[in-house]
Amino acid sequence: MVHLDDIDLEIIRQLWNGRASYSDVSKTLQVSTKTIGKRVKVMTDSSAADITCLIDPFKLHDHGAAFVGFRILPEYRKAALAIIDDLKGVIMAAIVTGKFDIMAIVSFNGAFTYDAFIEVEVCKIPGIKDMETFIAFGSQNFQLRYLLD
């Protein structure tokens, strides 16, 4: 597992604009352009970081998103997380403390509705006891990866 150091973190900060030139980042951080490129490659190859385009789903016709909390039998939590990660529409998921065991953000559209998520995807989750959905209405910072076809 890759652990990120202070220089990696500074690079990530500088890449708030993901298309910033490595030579500009290099000048700001006083680190060679080659080092920036090498470190970014290690981080992205290991999935520690990802330079990508996020989208506000509410600016697309027929799209929506929700926070979803899952209650899972204790012995299935890890297996359930791995499955949830691969379910259609799931943007991100994590095992959490509190009244839910796993929380996720899920996106939908006209061809892949919330109903389809429940009927086709949720039934694949091992050890699921219960779930609760909080349909999102968006905000200025509500931008997600686009994972639907």
Between vectors from CA 140 to CA 59 and to CA 121, what angle results, nearest 5°?
A: 60
Q: At what angle do helices 22-29 and 33-45 cross, to 10 degrees?
A: 110
| Residue 11 within binding range of another protein, rule CB under 8 A | yes
Q: Does 61 bind another protein (CB under 8 A)?
A: yes
Binding mask 78-117 for another protein (x = CB under 8 A): x--xx-xx----xxxxxxxxxxx--xxx------------
Q: By three-state DSSP, how is residue 143 classified? A: coil
Question: By C-alpha distance, which of 62, 37, 61, 64 is closest to 51?
Answer: 37
Q: Measured from the CB of residue 123, what is the shortest distance to another protein in angstroms? A: 19
Name which of residues 22 to 51 contact another protein (CB under 8 A). 40, 43, 47-51
Give the range of 26-34, 75-83, 110-118, 120-128 binding another protein by CB under 8 A. 75-83
Sign, Cα dihedral of 131, 136, 140, 143: positive
Interface with another protein by CB under 8 A: which range of 12-20, 27-35, 111-119, 121-129? 12-20
